[in-house]
């Protein structure tokens, strides 16, 4: 039976642990038998621009022995009015899996419901689970554990924040987000995590949030599709910059994370993202290793 990866919750806790272990093995080179997908074809259907997601998946697919087929929506019949449902059914006859990067999460769900092959969420407005996988591997590498680690997220309660909340619920990470009123993470995801016993909280003051942090995490204030709100958001989030003053409030061994791309000088300063505490490029590299482990799990 085919399996999809639309949110982090599509994995059990045991599968998540095993996936992170497998990713570490792939990264270290211990697993010599990496070409497990020889002869398979995996699609990448991207409606949003991408650097890390597209390249890491393309490289990972190649390293596993399969071929990646990039599908630009404007260059296939989807761009001329073919339905999502029909596109999903047709591509299921050619491919063994597909990664989709789109705007609404509902569109991804519609595709998955009509697909006979595994569908992987490369990003939607609601979730970014592949980023969360890389984040978890990075934290585990740098801190030696996940449970009990204090992760403080500064900024907009966006798709990355939503997936990190789910990650916290599954691993025992203590998650705090500092954000302006009206820019909290998705309420349903937040409430569900708390009902599962996760230590997740929302505060307004970034200085308060930073004090106990093992990890300080920032993301852009304006995500793709929100460009019309740029001026409003920049004004509201002005006090939510990850800078040297905030960094000094956290634990001495704090690490700095950012899912990239970074708008340097806005949500994070140069001196922080380029500091010795920054692990943002390790974090970006780990997209490759965790996604290879994910592909091995889902593509049969």
- 8 A C-beta contact, residue 286 and residue 27: yes
CA dihedral 43, 49, 52, 57 (to 10 degrees): 0
Q: Active-site residue 96, yes or no?
A: no
Name the active-site residue from 52, 54, 101, 174: 101
Burial environment of residue 244 by CB neighbours within 10 A (0 to 12, 13 to 18, 19 or more): exposed
Annotated catalytic residue, options 52, 127, 287, 289 = 287
> Looking at 96, 105, 125, 131, which residue is catalytic?
131
52 catalytic, yes or no? no
150 is a catalytic site residue: no
Find the helix or strand (DSSP H, E) in which 206 lies. helix 206-210
Catalytic-residue membership of 54: no
Q: Residue 273 and residue 285: Cα distance in Å, rounded?
A: 16
Q: Closest Cα to residue 20, out of 295, 294, 212, 298?
A: 294
Q: Choosing from 52, 54, 105, 128, which is the catalytic residue?
A: 128
**Region at 117 (left for phi over 0; alpha for psi -120 to 50; beta for the rest):** beta
Active site residue 128: yes
Cα–Cα distance, 99 to 285 (Å, whole number) = 18
Q: Could you say which of 259, 277, 283, 291 is catalytic?
A: 259
Q: How far apart are CA 117 and CA 114, in angstroms?
A: 9
Residues annotated as catalytic (active site), given as ranges: 101, 128, 131, 219, 259, 287
């Amino acid at each position: 039976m085919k399996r999809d990866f639309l949110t982090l919750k599509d994995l059990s806790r045991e599968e998540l642990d095993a996936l992170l272990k497998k990713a570490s093995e792939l990264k270290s080179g211990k697993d010599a038998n990496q070409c497990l997908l020889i002869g398979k074809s995996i699609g990448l259907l991207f409606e949003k621009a991408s650097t890390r997601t597209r390249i890491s998946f393309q490289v990972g697919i190649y390293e596993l022995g399969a071929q990646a087929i990039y599908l630009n929506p404007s260059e296939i019949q989807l761009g001329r009015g073919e339905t999502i449902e029909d596109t999903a059914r047709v591509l299921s006859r050619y491919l063994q899996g597909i990664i989709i990067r789109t705007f609404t999460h509902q569109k991804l769900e519609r595709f998955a419901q009509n697909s006979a092959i595994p569908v992987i969420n490369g990003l939607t407005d609601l979730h970014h689970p592949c980023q969360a996988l890389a984040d978890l591997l990075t934290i585990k590498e740098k801190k030696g554990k996940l449970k009990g680690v204090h992760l403080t997220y500064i900024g907009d309660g966006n798709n990355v924040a939503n997936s990190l909340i789910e990650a916290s619920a599954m691993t025992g990470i203590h998650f705090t987000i500092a954000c302006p009123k009206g820019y909290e993470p998705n309420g349903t995801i937040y409430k569900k995590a708390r009902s599962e016993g996760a230590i997740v909280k929302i505060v307004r003051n970034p200085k308060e949030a930073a004090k106990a942090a093992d990890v300080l995490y920032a993301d852009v204030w304006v995500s793709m599709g929100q460009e019309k709100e740029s001026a409003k958001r920049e004004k509201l989030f002005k006090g939510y910059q990850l800078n040297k003053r905030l960094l000094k409030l956290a634990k001495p061994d704090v690490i700095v994370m950012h899912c990239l791309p970074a708008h340097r000088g806005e949500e994070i300063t140069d001196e922080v993202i380029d500091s010795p505490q920054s692990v943002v490029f390790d974090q970006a590299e780990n997209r490759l290793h965790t996604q290879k482990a994910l592909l091995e799990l889902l593509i049969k």
